[in-house]
Amino acid sequence: MGLVDVRRDDNIAVITIDNPPVNALNNAVRTGLIDALALARDRAGIRAVVLACAGRTFVAGADITEFGKPSKPPSTTDVVTALDAMPKPVVAALHGTALGGGLEVALGCHFRVAAPTTRLGLPEIKLGLIPGAGGTQRLPRLIGMAKALPMILSGDPIGAKPALEAGLVDAIVDGDVTAGAIAFARRLVANKTPLRRARDLDAKLADMRADRARFDELVAAHGKRSRGLHAPIAAIEALRAAIDLPIDQGLELERSKFIELKDGEQSKAQRHIFFAERAAAKIGGLPKDAKAREIKHAAVIGAGTMGGGIAMCFANAGIPVTIVEASKEALARGLDVIAKNYSTSVKRGSLSAADMERRNGLMQGSTDFASVADADIVIEAVFEEMEIKKRVFSALDLLAAKTTILASNTSYLDIDAIGAVTQRPSAVLGTHFFSPANVMRLLEIVRGKATAPEVLAATVALGRRLGKIPVVVGNRHGFVGNRMLGARSIEAERLLLEGALPHEVDGALVQFGFPMGPFAMADLAGLDVGWRNRKSQGLRAEIADALCEAGHYGQKTGKGFYRYEAGARTPLPDSDTESLIVAASRRLGLTRRSIDKKEIVERLIFPMINEGARILDEKIAQRPGDIDVIWVYGYGFPVWRGGPMFYADGLGLSYIRDRLSALSRESNDKRHEPAALLAKLAAAGEGFGSLEAKASA
């Protein structure tokens, strides 16, 4: 069967798309659909049409890999227009994830039936786009603006049941969805049901047309998360056109905005992250047949902030988990925090009471280490001190089953040294979660020298099952994310000593697109964490150490780089800290000066890029895209800038090289000397992206 097959089932034409893995609408599929529709239209004996897909899902969207190239007709819009013009009823048979252009094609059909587990959505916003084949015009006409606008601005799919209730699908069919659609089509023919084109429906827009203020209220309620992003603004304009303009003008406006976004920098960056996220889970050098053993039961050692959050990840994914703590009091405290987290989610409506019960039921507390005996993986999340970790792993090695994976949640420390205290170094690796572990999606999986391929494969598969974005990294101090964060933190302090104040440094980075700057983030994480890490390496940070020595650890003590009103988390400039900074500059003989935002941003980001180049050279990260994924999902690097390495390519490595050389001279700090790989690529006029091309060649 070709990519698009047409068969006859009595007087029904059944068009089936078969373009694995997700039936993306590439050029060949679009061409095949136009031809198949013409055939069904002209064949006299055909009274109705069913559009279905083979494989695991209905069309999951346009083929994103085509976006960087010149678009070749017919477009997805041409397919939807051909569906619109069909004189015979067309029924879409939906299953899996009907997304983006796939849902827009289904909206071009007259009716839609869905399997019970189908998910339907317009996720274009997550790629820096808006629906470009009529979604912003047809969806509101079919389900009303109050439901359509949140779907398009969030990009999140809805299930078959809410879709049925909203009128997006006309029936949910059990069993074979194509057969269900054929039966549905036969009934249309028998009942001579008139064609219902989404483009002709206006009733559900009457409320917004009668009172435009209601549209503005809807936007105010759903549009707030779009700081710096262009696509949400374009989506709102296109949706407003659905109210104000006749549909053909609305479609024209949508199309022009879509093309502008598709060719813009932000969508290119977001599409880069989409593919980089998927590439990151592919592990170089992993034998194809590395069998990933299944994780049926987990154990977490430590019920503190990290341990509790990690345990929640397992319960959320439906995996039974035992939480082990040294004392009953500590265990009770940890379980209490978890219970509070879940009840807050239930109060917020993001979790049902039944789900909360189910998740709580999957968690067992214990103060007996021997309770790890039936775990397939044990994740240690105790104090960040090597000696403590070694003691824990020695004990686990004796108590856990021989096949159990032993993982450490360490954020800096040497996985090989930890594995060396066990008899099973091949089953030891790092699983570095990011706080809050039950929220942040990044999971750095640290590969030890002895870590076995199937242990790595099992842990990557587990990461995806937990809803994380796993990135395999090498075992060097700070791995990838925290090592680059260290480079940024050193420069951030230096900016304070040279004349900037915490809120100026943070403000520059927030304007760049981060949710918060280095000092607000340090206060949130706790200054004592970095302080302990620096002391273990004999390093000193003038300001942060002085603050810690005075007992100011950030939010947890009400004061750090900023001060915090009781019970509040808003960072407020603190005059004591500012005096401490000025005094430190004087003590070091530095003349303070005003530093502009551009210099602040370059001095925070470029040293990170430089460290990232060294990390690639040392093979601690497999590819530049892995580093981008780590920084977007672990540290809030703005996704519409594509991550540090993609951003560097956009600026040009020779510019970054020259700025780093100047910085190295001005600060007399060799660490700012351009990394060998960065200098080499710059000299060749290439970017980090050229490494991906070579790697996948």
> What amino acid positions are annotated as catalytic residues?
104, 124
Of 137 and 404, CB closest to ligand T1G: 137
Of 267 and 451, CB closest to ligand T1G: 267
Q: Distance between CA atoms of 257 and 266, rounded to whole angstroms?
A: 13
Q: Distance between CA atoms of 352 and 344, rounded to whole angstroms?
A: 11
Of 274 and 326, CB closest to ligand T1G: 274
> What torsion, rounded to 10 degrees, do the Cα atoms 478, 383, 470, 537 define?
0
- Interacting stretch for ligand T1G, rule CB under 6 A, among 130-138, 362-370, 381-389, 520-528? 130-138
- Which of 537, 548, 432, 440 minimizes the C-alpha distance to 493? 548
- Interacting stretch for ligand T1G, rule CB under 6 A, among 79-87, 119-127, 285-293, 394-402? 119-127
Q: How many residues bind ligand T1G (CB under 6 A)?
A: 25
- Regarding 692 and contact with ligand T1G (CB under 6 A), the answer is no
Q: Distance between CA atoms of 343 and 340, rounded to whole angstroms?
A: 5
- Regarding 60 and contact with ligand T1G (CB under 6 A), the answer is yes
Contact between 136 and 254 under an 8 Å Cβ cutoff? The reply is yes
Point out which residues pair with 14 in neighbouring strands.
Answer: 7, 50
- Which of 311, 312, 308 minimizes the C-alpha distance to 330? 308
Contact between 615 and 621 under an 8 Å Cβ cutoff? The reply is yes
Two structure tokens written together for 172: 């949910």
List, edge to edge, every strand of the sheet that includes 4-9. Answer: 4-9, 12-17, 48-53, 90-94, 111-114, 171-172
**Minimal distance in Å, beta carbon 634 to ligand T1G?**
19
Q: Which of 17, 40, 106, 124 touches ligand T1G by CB under 6 A? A: 124
Of 225 and 278, CB closest to ligand T1G: 278
- Regarding 76 and contact with ligand T1G (CB under 6 A), the answer is yes
Q: State how far Cα 658 lies from the chain centre.
A: 33
- Interacting stretch for ligand T1G, rule CB under 6 A, among 99-107, 287-295, 409-417, 488-496? 99-107
**Minimal distance in Å, beta carbon 192 to ligand T1G?**
33
Binding to ligand T1G, residues 2-41 (CB under 6 A): 21-22, 24
SS3 643: coil
**Minimal distance in Å, beta carbon 339 to ligand T1G?**
31
- Regarding 626 and contact with ligand T1G (CB under 6 A), the answer is no
Of 64 and 113, CB closest to ligand T1G: 64
Q: Distance between CA atoms of 309 and 467, rounded to whole angstroms?
A: 13
Whose structure tokens read 């933190």?
Answer: 489
Burial class (CB in 10 A: 0-12, 13-18, 19+), 81: middle
Q: Which of 91, 106, 127, 239 touches ligand T1G by CB under 6 A? A: 127
**Minimal distance in Å, beta carbon 1 to ligand T1G?**
20
Q: State how far Cα 542 lies from the chain centre.
A: 35
- Regarding 62 and contact with ligand T1G (CB under 6 A), the answer is yes
Of 22 and 509, CB closest to ligand T1G: 22
- Interacting stretch for ligand T1G, rule CB under 6 A, among 57-65, 177-185, 391-399, 503-511? 57-65
Two structure tokens written together for 219: 């936007």
Whose structure tokens read 């598969």?
Answer: 461
How many helices (H) and strands (E) would you count in the chain?
30, 19
Binding to ligand T1G, residues 266-285 (CB under 6 A): 275, 278
Binding mask of the shown chain, residues 398 to 417, with x at each position contacting ligand T1G by CB under 6 A: --------------------
- Regarding 99 and contact with ligand T1G (CB under 6 A), the answer is yes
- Interacting stretch for ligand T1G, rule CB under 6 A, among 41-49, 55-63, 235-243, 285-293? 55-63
Of 98 and 113, CB closest to ligand T1G: 98
Pick left, alpha or beta for residue 398 (phi over 0 → left; psi -120 to 50 → alpha; otherwise beta). Answer: alpha
Q: Which of 89, 101, 144, 250 touches ligand T1G by CB under 6 A? A: 101
Of 392 and 472, CB closest to ligand T1G: 472
- Regarding 310 and contact with ligand T1G (CB under 6 A), the answer is no
- Regarding 194 and contact with ligand T1G (CB under 6 A), the answer is no
Q: Which of 36, 109, 129, 471 touches ligand T1G by CB under 6 A? A: 129
**Minimal distance in Å, beta carbon 274 to ligand T1G?**
7
Contact between 91 and 51 under an 8 Å Cβ cutoff? The reply is yes
- Interacting stretch for ligand T1G, rule CB under 6 A, among 58-66, 247-255, 302-310, 529-537? 58-66
- Regarding 430 and contact with ligand T1G (CB under 6 A), the answer is no
- Interacting stretch for ligand T1G, rule CB under 6 A, among 129-137, 378-386, 484-492, 634-642? 129-137
**Minimal distance in Å, beta carbon 147 to ligand T1G?**
18
**Minimal distance in Å, beta carbon 27 to ligand T1G?**
12
**Minimal distance in Å, beta carbon 258 to ligand T1G?**
7
Whose structure tokens read 């917020």?
Answer: 348
CA atoms within 13 A on the CB side of 651: 20
Amino acid at 514: F
CB < 8 Å & 24+ apart, contacts of 145-151: 145/204, 145/205, 145/207, 145/208, 145/215, 145/218, 145/239, 145/242, 145/243, 146/218, 148/239, 149/218, 149/219, 149/222, 149/236, 149/239, 150/222, 151/121, 151/122
Containing 521, the helix (H) or strand (E) segment is helix 518-525
SS in 3 state form for 39-78? HHHHCCCCCEEEEEECCCCCCCCECHHHCCCCCCCCCHHH
CA atoms within 13 A on the CB side of 441: 11
Point out which residues pair with 298 in neighbouring strands.
Answer: 321, 377
**Minimal distance in Å, beta carbon 211 to ligand T1G?**
29
Q: Which of 104, 454, 626, 692 touches ligand T1G by CB under 6 A? A: 104
- Regarding 136 and contact with ligand T1G (CB under 6 A), the answer is no
Of 106 and 133, CB closest to ligand T1G: 133
**Minimal distance in Å, beta carbon 694 to ligand T1G?**
18
- Which of 673, 649, 675, 653 minimizes the C-alpha distance to 663? 673
Of 131 and 307, CB closest to ligand T1G: 131
Q: Which of 100, 554, 607, 634 touches ligand T1G by CB under 6 A? A: 100
- Regarding 94 and contact with ligand T1G (CB under 6 A), the answer is no
Of 421 and 461, CB closest to ligand T1G: 461
**Minimal distance in Å, beta carbon 469 to ligand T1G?**
11
Q: Which of 19, 97, 410, 459 touches ligand T1G by CB under 6 A? A: 97
Containing 93, the helix (H) or strand (E) segment is strand 90-94
- Interacting stretch for ligand T1G, rule CB under 6 A, among 60-68, 143-151, 474-482, 618-626? 60-68
Q: Which of 108, 131, 463, 571 touches ligand T1G by CB under 6 A? A: 131
- Which of 550, 484, 555 minimizes the C-alpha distance to 519? 555
Q: List contacts with ligand T1G (CB under 6 A).
A: 21-22, 24, 60-65, 76, 97, 99-101, 104, 123-124, 127, 129, 131-133, 135, 275, 278
